[in-house]
A and B are shown apart, each in its own frame.
Chain A
């Protein structure tokens, strides 16, 4: 039966080729526009670590108090996203979570061993060994440094494959050294391709940019007085001069993450944080009741507005456009079906049931949807190519079409067009055979 209806649908679509082409074009451009923006939105909104996003928590501690809110942001609920050095080290020493790491972004000049090559700049993340197991970074060779090396402020480094290719020609560099700002660091591990989008563990700068090329022990970076290359926020009180003064200040410039596998761990860690902040109040550092917060990866991405306003606006605009296209197709379908009232009358008079007419017309709508979806895919590819040429490199990293996106496009096209076809189809099924035959 389905095949027969499909044949009828195709024949009917061929009979009024102009209307058919218009309908398919309308659905196609609508799907093309909406899928283009949806692809970018889905890339921005995607869960960067689905297997663990409910177990990794960003930690916030209010070390400025209720009177010292940022001047520009007017949102009372928001407070500083980063921690001071005092709190970062306080939480590291407490070891209250299954795994935990403080970290910050820094950088240096790397001088290649070959004297004919010029020094170049590298982005560095200063962190603890738990970073690699918490965020499940793939190792090409070697491994993370040890907890002892964290403790001993060791001159060790983990580098990315890209940097390994550049400096060591892709060879095994374990045990070799790199020179960062005139200091030698021994390589203990090389990371395989690891580019989470967005860089959820530090969304302060370049959330969609390239990440660090070198990872160093946090303790070593602090010893080396490597300043933060990310956000530093001092809110009035900048502390005493010098590096020691910065470490003792209430300036915030560090990120802190805790791994808490079970709900009980989460509750325990919340209690621990509150105790920690209360203790700070008791010793006179905080003059306000404990104000702390932990958020898992997904909550953190929402809180930090990982999806840009522009992309939200474009999704809204393009889906409104799809709606207009579907209304358009619906109008054309209505016109087409009502123009064929005579045929339908004949079929009804010859014994076709209302359901049969309904099914036949709905299949016709589905065929239009499918064709529109295929055209839409083509236009989406064009649209994404357009975005790549128009937008900055950061956004370009978000324009890759996945199999899931293709499936969504086809399903969306068929479903939406069939839905839009419901009313015209219903009208077709209402055709009274007798009236139509009489009018002939």
Chain B
């Protein structure tokens, strides 16, 4: 294939060629950044919490007033919940995975350390927590019931008797893997607390992209407290498979039978909590996918339109080439090569644009660096798009009869 005639023809249609190249460049820049973002958000929404999500029901309970016998009421509620048919176990806590709200503390290895070694989200719980969330204890032991005490609001500052932490937090604090039996210091309490157990995984409550918690996603601790306050408390109920709906209904009825002086603001499974927590991420993924599809469609229509015009403009020349012995394939190849040259230039500019767009987004937003593979995939998609789009006008060009050369224009 000779490039020279193509280049000289293109020189006569500079603006059209530039228009197509620029369109392809922008398409490429948007496409690979959008694909990258889509992949990230999908991965984000698929991170496991460590809990048996489908079979864990959250019941948000709030007492009217701040009843003095809250401790006994809590025990009574939990005992009743555990006795319901279809319930594996239940425990009360201050927050739950993907809820978007909770507490964070810093953990240190020494009492007078200036900066904490690791940040961790705090879940209050008792000896039922592991079973009620369906967590996996991988080292050490569960809490003993005598380690569980009442904590009256966040201004009750007694240190916990023991801690169960996640594997990620254990690895961060004790890279040598001997977390169980060690003591840590909680930032605010200045007390030394022994780690008694390690669970495989328990995600922090905040799951937004780049938000609070994104830098310590798997660092959580369970402190053996029954939380008593005017804040809502969450009863986490682990049900037998498929029993979530039935248990939710029975549990609400049972709790109101015990006392009507409460607010059950809402009940939901962790699966529903996941849907809610990642709704906007999924929405973003769909929107970006639609825009990308529209972008590819518009760009390819643009290529079809301009190339068709060029074919129409060059009907005589094509006829002459055919009369002089050029095959149909040679004509098709001509337009395909022409498009490849334009698309190649567009792709080159596009890759540069994609990388700078990404760098700008890294600086301005919570965005990661673009992987090279995405620019590569984007470039290939754009080149293929050009080839497919040009096919129809090229076939039309190949159909121009050689006899056209002999006719007057």
Give residues in A with beta carbon < 8 Å to B: 19, 22, 26, 29-30, 33, 71-72, 108-109, 111, 118-121, 181-183, 205, 226-227, 229, 232, 234, 236-238, 240-243, 245-246, 309-310, 312-314, 317-318, 320-321, 323-325, 327-328, 330-332, 334-335, 338-339, 386-387, 390-392, 395, 423, 427, 439
Shortest distance in angstroms between A58's beta carbon and chain B's nearest beta carbon? 20
> Is the Cβ of A29 less than 8 Å from the Cβ of B263?
no
> Is the Cβ of B30 less than 8 Å from the Cβ of A395?
no
Shortest distance in angstroms between A48's beta carbon and chain B's nearest beta carbon? 22
**Residues of chain A with a CB closer than 8 A to B1's CB:** none
| Residue of A240, A314, A328 touching B298 (CB-CB under 8 A) | A328
Which chain A residue has the least Cβ–Cβ distance from B156? Answer: A241
> Is the Cβ of A335 less than 8 Å from the Cβ of B280?
no
Shortest distance in angstroms between B169's beta carbon and chain A's nearest beta carbon? 15
> Is the Cβ of B287 less than 8 Å from the Cβ of A109?
no
Which chain B residue has the least Cβ–Cβ distance from A117? Answer: B260
Chain B 351-386 near chain A by CB (<8 Å), digits 1 or 0? 000000000010011110000000000000000000
Contacts A118-B260, A238-B157, A334-B19 given; does A109 touch B29 at CB 8 Å: no
List 19 extra interface pairs beyond A109-B263, A324-B298, CB under 8 A.
A109-B65, A119-B260, A120-B265, A181-B65, A236-B188, A245-B155, A309-B210, A314-B288, A317-B33, A318-B291, A321-B291, A321-B294, A328-B299, A328-B302, A330-B19, A334-B15, A335-B308, A391-B283, A395-B280
User: Does B145 reach chain A (CB closer than 8 Å)?
Assistant: no
User: Does B136 reach chain A (CB closer than 8 Å)?
Assistant: no
User: Does B3 reach chain A (CB closer than 8 Å)?
Assistant: no
**Residues of chain B with a CB closer than 8 A to A338's CB:** 309, 313
Contacts A181-B66, A328-B301 given; does A72 touch B119 at CB 8 Å: yes
Query: Can you report 14 residue pairs joining A to B where beta carbons are below 8 Å apart?
Result: A111-B261, A118-B256, A121-B265, A181-B230, A182-B64, A242-B156, A309-B366, A313-B361, A317-B288, A338-B313, A387-B287, A392-B279, A392-B280, A427-B15
Most buried by B among A72, A234, A317, A323: A317
> Is the Cβ of B291 less than 8 Å from the Cβ of A33?
yes
CA distance A243 to B34 in the complex (A): 49
**Residues of chain A with a CB closer than 8 A to B409's CB:** 439
Chain B 291-314 near chain A by CB (<8 Å), digits 1 or 0? 100110011011001101100110
> Is the Cβ of A325 less than 8 Å from the Cβ of B298?
yes
Most buried by B among A181, A312, A339, A387: A181
Chain B 32-47 near chain A by CB (<8 Å), digits 1 or 0? 0110010000000000
Which chain A residue has the least Cβ–Cβ distance from B360? Answer: A316
Shortest distance in angstroms between A118's beta carbon and chain B's nearest beta carbon? 7
**Residues of chain A with a CB closer than 8 A to B301's CB:** 22, 26, 328
**Residues of chain A with a CB closer than 8 A to B62's CB:** 109, 121
Contacts A72-B215, A241-B155, A331-B306 given; does A314 touch B284 at CB 8 Å: yes
User: Does B286 reach chain A (CB closer than 8 Å)?
Assistant: yes
| Residue of A71, A227, A324, A335 touching B305 (CB-CB under 8 A) | A335
CA distance A339 to B310 in the complex (A): 10
User: Does B153 reach chain A (CB closer than 8 Å)?
Assistant: yes
**Residues of chain A with a CB closer than 8 A to B26's CB:** 320, 323-324, 327
> Is the Cβ of B16 less than 8 Å from the Cβ of A317?
no
- Please report the total number of B residues contacting A with Cβ < 8 Å: 74
CA distance A121 to B262 in the complex (A): 9
> Is the Cβ of A392 less than 8 Å from the Cβ of B276?
yes
> Is the Cβ of A226 less than 8 Å from the Cβ of B230?
yes
Most buried by A among B116, B189, B309: B309
> Is the Cβ of A339 less than 8 Å from the Cβ of B312?
yes
Q: Which residues of B205-227 have CB atoms within 8 Å of chain A's CB atoms?
A: 210, 212, 215
> Is the Cβ of A33 less than 8 Å from the Cβ of B64?
no
Chain B 16-35 near chain A by CB (<8 Å), digits 1 or 0? 10011011001101100110
Which chain B residue has the least Cβ–Cβ distance from A391? Answer: B283
| Residue of A29, A182, A238, A320 touching B65 (CB-CB under 8 A) | A182
The 7 closest A-B pairs by CB, nearest first: A335-B309, A390-B283, A182-B65, A328-B302, A238-B188, A309-B365, A391-B283
Which chain A residue has the least Cβ–Cβ distance from B282? Answer: A390
> Is the Cβ of A33 less than 8 Å from the Cβ of B263?
no
**Residues of chain B with a CB closer than 8 A to A309's CB:** 210, 364-367
> Is the Cβ of B116 less than 8 Å from the Cβ of A229?
no
> Is the Cβ of A108 less than 8 Å from the Cβ of B230?
yes
> Is the Cβ of B263 less than 8 Å from the Cβ of A119?
yes
Shortest distance in angstroms between A397's beta carbon and chain B's nearest beta carbon? 13
| Residue of B34, B154, B212 touching A72 (CB-CB under 8 A) | B212
> Is the Cβ of A331 less than 8 Å from the Cβ of B119?
no
User: Does B402 reach chain A (CB closer than 8 Å)?
Assistant: no
> Is the Cβ of A327 less than 8 Å from the Cβ of B261?
no
Contacts A118-B260, A317-B30 given; does A324 touch B306 at CB 8 Å: no
CA distance A89 to B59 in the complex (A): 37
| Residue of B23, B63, B280, B309 touching A310 (CB-CB under 8 A) | B280
**Residues of chain A with a CB closer than 8 A to B366's CB:** 309
| Residue of A320, A328, A386 touching B29 (CB-CB under 8 A) | A320
Shortest distance in angstroms between A25's beta carbon and chain B's nearest beta carbon? 8
CA distance A65 to B15 in the complex (A): 60
**Residues of chain A with a CB closer than 8 A to B215's CB:** 72
Contacts A309-B365, A310-B280 given; does A71 touch B306 at CB 8 Å: no
| Residue of B231, B294, B298 touching A229 (CB-CB under 8 A) | B231
> Is the Cβ of B283 less than 8 Å from the Cβ of A331?
no
**Residues of chain B with a CB closer than 8 A to A325's CB:** 298
Which chain B residue has the least Cβ–Cβ distance from A424? Answer: B15
> Is the Cβ of A391 less than 8 Å from the Cβ of B288?
no
**Residues of chain A with a CB closer than 8 A to B64's CB:** 109, 111, 119, 181-182
Which chain B residue has the least Cβ–Cβ distance from A233? Answer: B104
CA distance A394 to B68 in the complex (A): 37
> Is the Cβ of B294 less than 8 Å from the Cβ of A33?
yes
**Residues of chain B with a CB closer than 8 A to A323's CB:** 26
CA distance A321 to B33 in the complex (A): 13
Shortest distance in angstroms between A144's beta carbon and chain B's nearest beta carbon? 26
User: Does B232 reach chain A (CB closer than 8 Å)?
Assistant: yes
Shortest distance in angstroms between A334's beta carbon and chain B's nearest beta carbon? 6
CA distance A109 to B302 in the complex (A): 61
Shortest distance in angstroms between A36's beta carbon and chain B's nearest beta carbon? 9
